Structure 1
Amino acid sequence: MRAVSAPLLAAQSARFAELDPLLPAAVAPPEGEGLVVALPGGDRVAGVVTRTEHPRGAAPTLWAASEVWELHPLLGGAPGSAMDVLLRRWAGAMARVAVEQDSSCLVTWPSRDVAASAALLAHGFAPLSVLAVRVPAARGPSRRHPVSVRRAGFEDLEFLTRSAMAELEYSAQVGSAVVRPAAPRIKWASLSVHLAQGDPVWIAERGGEPVGHLEGWQTVSAPASWAETRVPHGRWGYVNCLSVLPGSRGSGVGGALVDTAHDELLNGAVGSFLYFNPPNPLSPVFWARRGYRPLWTLWELRPASALR
């Protein structure tokens, strides 16, 4: 498999650069089950399948199935239509595996590869999440907002948890999020960690009452880092969660939080990125207006036994 993957990685990096200048170079997939298939012309493409099991009560269960089967394609310089051949091979392998009901198949692939998108749709996948990126442009005129924004502290944990749950409950209707019984505890613990280590968390207030929050931090894309597979090397701002309480949505609260966060997250950074759900009727337009555009699409199929 290693002999096959080396030239495919080099060709895939070149193709990624043609598809989108903000795509990072392809990196070697993690250890897993190797798949190698021949294209009609005789060239070969490959992939690696990994299985991840998230225990009950673990944080990833709020945005993923308990059992995740992920394909890491190595299409080299082949057109996106080669994805269909690889998916057929994967479907045959999965047909021989017993999977849980709370399971999924996952493929993360460049958003601009529309031929691959057609193949993924044909095999039953849905584009439930997108990694969107923003490279800052020249600062425009300052905008007036209908709310005040401040940094949150430990005394705000009760509201922050309630706000995070509001976002989770909405996202579960339009994306890959799942409302688990342990969700409030997980959110409380996660927010506590971010506050303890100094990660910025902002609260928007109207008339002294909190109406939304945003979490974010800076991360460095470097060799062997998790961000290296998603964005080019450098320091990036990451927007982790934006939530506005139901009664205040559509009134400018989200924009105020994002503008405030950008002032800090983009300090010394080459850009910022985040995840949103394409089926969400609010997110795609909101983030596009703030300069974000899709870079990677996360294609999911639940349960994993539905792969065809």
Structure 2
Amino acid sequence: MSTTERFTALDPLLPPPPSEAGGERITAVTANGERVSGVLQRYRHGPADVALLWSAEQVWQLFPDPGISGTAGFDALLGALRSRMDNEQAEPDSACVVNWPSRDAEAIRAFLDHGMVPMSALAVRTGQEPPAPEPDVPAIRSAGPEDLDAVLALCTATFDYTGLVAHRRRAQTAELLRPALRHALGEPATWLAEEHGEAVGLAQCAWVESEPGNAAAELLPTGRWGYVNNVITATGHRSRGIGRALMARAHRELNGRGTAGTYLYYNPLNPLSSVFWHRQGYRPLWTSWEAHPASALR
């Protein structure tokens, strides 16, 4: 079976495996003599890098060869990575990361055995009508540049919460968010829910083209996709249907431009978002497995 056929067997929505990543080659041999390998990349985020909102500062990322199959192969490769990490000085704000198709249950067994947890998932939604919004919810309108302060406050509060259940909270969250939010509010893809003049919910979205050779094509089938970036309901206003109403509006807008579907990233360990997104018709396509700090890899 070719690597492309293997990925298709795992999940028909997976794109063909990308070309080999550049970096340090890691190899291992299983107990029955099968040779497995992957590429290791190491990088560090600076204090002004927006990626700090969803990543450790110091990262070792492993890219397993797409042809690896079975728990034994991943177990051997992760064991080799663990031995390789003995030569590194891992700081407290560090991680070992593997991004892999979510439906590969045999690989999941190895990730768990080596002390890794599912920190984020790329989830997709295709060909489904949005759930009907609740009848009694605040008014929803398009957001613009004049709403930056309200949008920033909602997003900052959300990242403060995810700092409890996913990546650690950053003291500079607002500063990291502001430039991207200012840019996003210049595009017609952000919606606010308002009540008595107060912003109580937000859906910030975009459109992404998955084309051969670009980064999106490594994760998504070719085509135009709606991207759901931040969806927020303010504390004290949850369980009223505001999030569902925002997403009904967002799905109508995003799916009305010839999109193949919509996608987003969520934290599987987040007790709010994991339930919400599954009910919205999303299901995981890729999962990022991580050990924090990097030295915690077993």
TM-score between the two structures when normalised by the length of structure 1: 0.91
Deviation, structure 1 residue 46: 1.3
SS at match of 1:246: coil
Alignment partner, residue 49 of structure 1: 40
Separation (CA, whole Å) in 1 of partners of 2:111 and 2:183: 37
Alignment partner, residue 283 of structure 2: 293
Which residue of 24, 31, 34 corresponds with 2:22? 31
Q: Deviations over 1:158-187 (max 9, x none)?
A: 1101000111011111112x3222211122
Which residue of 52, 55, 63 corresponds with 2:54? 63
TM alignment of 1:73-88, pairs within 5 A:
73-76=64-67, 78-88=69-79
Alignment partner, residue 98 of structure 2: 107
Separation (CA, whole Å) in 1 of partners of 2:179 and 2:130: 36
Alignment partner, residue 176 of structure 2: 186
SS at match of 1:136: coil
RMSD, aligned CA: 1.7
Identity between Structure 1 and Structure 2 (%): 40
Deviation, structure 1 residue 120: 0.5
TM alignment of 1:160-239, pairs within 5 A:
160-176=151-167, 178-196=168-186, 198-239=187-228
1:199–1:11: structure 2 CA closer, same or farther, 3 Å change rule? Answer: farther
AA in 1 matched with 2:264: L
Deviation, structure 1 residue 104: 0.6
Separation (CA, whole Å) in 2 of partners of 1:21 and 1:73: 20
Separation (CA, whole Å) in 2 of partners of 1:155 and 1:184: 17
Q: Deviations over 1:125-174 (max 9, x none)?
A: 01111111100225676763512111111111111010001110111111
1:138–1:149: structure 2 CA closer, same or farther, 3 Å change rule? Answer: closer
TM alignment of 1:3-14, pairs within 5 A:
11-14=2-5
Alignment partner, residue 97 of structure 1: 88
AA in 1 matched with 2:287: T
Deviation, structure 1 residue 56: 0.8
Are the aligned partners of 1:75 and 1:82 in contact in 2 as well (CA < 8 Å)? no
Does residue 244 of structure 2 align to residue 262 of structure 1?
Answer: no
Separation (CA, whole Å) in 1 of partners of 2:25 and 2:207: 34
Separation (CA, whole Å) in 2 of partners of 1:75 and 1:154: 43
Gaps of 5+ in 2: none
1:22–1:86: structure 2 CA closer, same or farther, 3 Å change rule? Answer: same
Of residues 144-153 and 115-124 in structure 1, the stretch that sits farther from structure 2 once superposed is 144-153
Separation (CA, whole Å) in 2 of partners of 1:118 and 1:235: 34
Does residue 272 of structure 2 align to residue 282 of structure 1?
Answer: yes
Separation (CA, whole Å) in 2 of partners of 1:75 and 1:45: 10
Are the aligned partners of 2:3 and 2:17 in contact in 1 as well (CA < 8 Å)? yes
Are the aligned partners of 1:166 and 1:243 in contact in 2 as well (CA < 8 Å)? no
SS at match of 2:193: strand
Gaps of 5+ in 1: 1-9
Are the aligned partners of 1:37 and 1:45 in contact in 2 as well (CA < 8 Å)? yes
Are the aligned partners of 2:60 and 2:95 in contact in 1 as well (CA < 8 Å)? yes
Deviation, structure 1 residue 57: 2.2
TM-score between the two structures when normalised by the length of structure 2: 0.94
Alignment partner, residue 3 of structure 1: none
Are the aligned partners of 2:131 and 2:248 in contact in 1 as well (CA < 8 Å)? no
AA in 2 matched with 1:240: N
Q: Deviations over 1:81-129 (max 9, x none)?
A: 4111100011111111122221111111111111111110111101111
Alignment partner, residue 7 of structure 1: none
Alignment partner, residue 119 of structure 1: 110
Separation (CA, whole Å) in 2 of partners of 1:241 and 1:192: 14
1:175–1:74: structure 2 CA closer, same or farther, 3 Å change rule? Answer: same
Separation (CA, whole Å) in 2 of partners of 1:59 and 1:138: 33
SS at match of 1:220: strand
Of residues 178-187 and 218-227 in structure 1, the stretch that sits farther from structure 2 once superposed is 178-187
